[in-house]
Structure 1
């Protein structure tokens, strides 16, 4: 409202405000549902420990890509914070060295009930702003990185189930171990479905908030790149834009991965089981996992499904 007549300053302020609102909302949801997050993590770990040595190795190998993905996302967030903090210092040094003028700017623009250009107030305001930005970056990395961990866990269990199915089909249907392993396979599949549904339930509001609010800062940042009032802000704008896009990609590609693993399991059940050689009573028995696998496991944001199509839709609307 203070800069109502200046569109550039309004856009710059709204970019930060929307991002802070999204971050605060995701953190609030995470804290409000912390017990469900903890139970989901424990259930996934407990389910993995039930497997044999080879299955646990497969589970670890499938989860290994989570580390470089979350590391890249964390580095992007930390670079954004560092640029946000260092940019005012570079401006101060530049104007002082070249123009012999002291120009004090804050890491994030704002209006305060005191004169922040006074040395003491400027130092305190800068420290508080840096702490706020660092807190937001660290907490949002945890929430988004944990989603990737859960997604790869679910995917690992679906891959283990495909392995169990292949091992089961090596037994003859009349083998006593076949029925025992078949019951265990059905129970394992049921547990995976329950965990995937719980993952969707706990992250649905976060995905909804992420997708609905991501378009605004992307559009605002694109506008700022088109009409630069200060070229020194380009590194910060580019890094913030990349961090927001990475946030959106984590959720969209995470949902896509779970859906693809589910489709692959359904395809394997259909192709690996020799339906034409089985007597009717055994084929009816094996229909149970096949019918269950037809239920597509998707991650949603209540009104939409998190997948690549959603990412394309958001990008298309942003370009429009």
Structure 2
């Protein structure tokens, strides 16, 4: 409100506040639905433990794939926090050593009801700002990292289903074990569908917040990099921008992975079962898992589906808004 005529300061304030709002909202949604998340976690692990050793090894191997992704995301967020802490200190040392001046700057710009340039209030404001940024960083790492684990967990179960299908088809339809394994296969598939729908219901508001609030920070950061008055802020902006992009990739590629695994299972059911060699009564029996597999499992944010197309749409929207800001800036300069 104090800088309504300065577009650069307005965009900087909107960018930081939108990220703080998104992080806090995701954290509170996560806490409000913690019981459902715990039940979902327990159900997925219980389902994995019912399998044999080979299936449990496959489940563990698939889940380990998410570790490098979450680790890279965590490192990016922690580097952003560290730069946020070190930047004011390094700037203070630089001006004091080279110019014999004391320049006090905060990690995040803001207005305060006190004079933050005094040593006591500066240190207090610096500590509180760092704690706020650290809280938001830890919150989103937990929420987004757990989503990645859920996605790979469900993907592992869908891969186990394809393995169970191959084992089932090795039995003759007249074998008494065929009906038992077939019923177990159908029930396993139904449980995976229910757990995926529960994951979608729990994370839908978080995905909605992530997608709707990510286009603006991306375009605002791109705009600020072009008209940045202080080059010292470049590392902080680049790291924060990288963290936002990694957030989007976790959700969009996570939704794409679940969809692809589901489609591959449906394709395997259609291609591996020798429909032409089965009696009609067994064809009707095997239609049950085939019909279930036709239901595409997707993760949504209420109004859109989390996939690669959504990620492209976000980048296109951010590019359009950035071009509009550049045109507006050039018009004001002229």
The two structures have a TM-score, normalised by structure 1, of 0.99
SS at match of 1:292: helix
Matches within 5 A, 1:297-316: 297-316=297-316
| Shift in Å, 1:95 | 0.8
- The match for 1:36 is 36
The two structures have a TM-score, normalised by structure 2, of 0.95
Cα deviations by residue, 1:98-128 (Å, 9 ceiling, x for unpaired) = 1111000111111111111111111111111
- The match for 1:71 is 71
Over the residues paired in the alignment, what is the CA RMSD in angstroms?
0.6
| Shift in Å, 1:239 | 0.4
- The match for 2:265 is 265
1:192 paired with 2:195, answer no
- The match for 1:83 is 83
Matches within 5 A, 1:51-200: 51-200=51-200
| Shift in Å, 1:20 | 0.3
Q: Distance in 2 between matches of 1:220 and 1:85?
A: 22
Q: Which runs of 4+ in 1 moved over 4 A?
A: none
Q: Distance in 1 between matches of 2:64 and 2:195?
A: 20
SS at match of 2:112: coil
Q: Distance in 2 between matches of 1:125 and 1:247?
A: 28
Matches within 5 A, 1:238-249: 238-249=238-249
Q: Distance in 1 between matches of 2:89 and 2:36?
A: 43
| Shift in Å, 1:83 | 0.6
| Shift in Å, 1:314 | 0.6
Cα deviations by residue, 1:145-168 (Å, 9 ceiling, x for unpaired) = 000000000000000000000000
| Shift in Å, 1:23 | 0.4
- The match for 1:256 is 256
SS at match of 1:305: coil
Cα deviations by residue, 1:256-282 (Å, 9 ceiling, x for unpaired) = 000000000000000100000000000
